[in-house]
């Protein structure tokens, strides 16, 4: 009985690890990690959102759903709080919440503000690849 339980737990842990590695990284904004990812020419998206923003509330589940797709595995999606990341907003010249700033090979390639349609958000994120 112990062996069956141990095998089940090990198998479950392995499955969770594999599932997690198939997801894009959706992480809170961190300046050092952002700079490292850009310097390494990794695909990066900075998503400026605010909890009080109705557009952001529509975008959030779409972003989570897209981040879970295997094609977005290499993309790091940094979630930047619009109300607290004011220095970053100035640096990137972001003037509104619900904005995606997309970087490929260390350089900004596009940005989008206020999109709530999944195909439009997908197209924006794809530009990081």
Confidence of residue 26 (pLDDT cuts 50, 70, 90): confident
Q: Give the pLDDT band (50/70/90) at residue 3.
A: very low
**Nearest partner of 128 among 77, 59, 63, judged by Cα:** 77
- Check residue 24 and give its pLDDT: 64
pLDDT tens sequence across 35-78: 999 999 999 999 999 999 999 999 999 999 999 999 999 999 99
CA angle 70, 75, 81 (to 5 degrees): 120
- On the question of pLDDT at 19 being above 80, the answer is no
Mean pLDDT calculated for residue range 99-118: 97
pLDDT at 20 over 70: no
- Contact indicator for 98, 13 with CB cutoff of 8 Å: no
> And the tokens for 57?
């509330």
Mean pLDDT of 94-116: 97
The pLDDT, as a whole number, for residue 11 is 41
pLDDT at residue 120 tops 80: yes
What is residue 43's predicted lDDT score, i.e. its pLDDT? 97
Rounded Cα distance between 2 and 16, Å, is: 21
Distance CA 126, CA 120 (A): 10
């Amino acid at each position: 009985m112990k062996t069956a339980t141990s095998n089940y737990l090990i198998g479950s842990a392995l499955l969770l690890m594999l599932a997690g590695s198939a997801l894009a990284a959706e992480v809170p904004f961190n300046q050092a990690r952002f700079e490292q990812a850009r310097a390494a020419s990794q695909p990066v998206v900075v998503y400026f959102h605010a909890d009080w923003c109705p557009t952001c509330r529509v975008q959030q589940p779409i972003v989570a759903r897209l981040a879970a797709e295997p094609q977005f595995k290499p993309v790091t999606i940094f979630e930047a709080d619009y109300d607290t990341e004011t220095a970053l907003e100035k640096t990137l010249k972001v003037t509104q919440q619900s904005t995606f700033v997309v970087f490929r090979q260390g350089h900004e390639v596009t940005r989008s503000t206020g999109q709530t349609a999944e195909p439009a958000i997908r197209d924006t994120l794809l530009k990081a690849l």
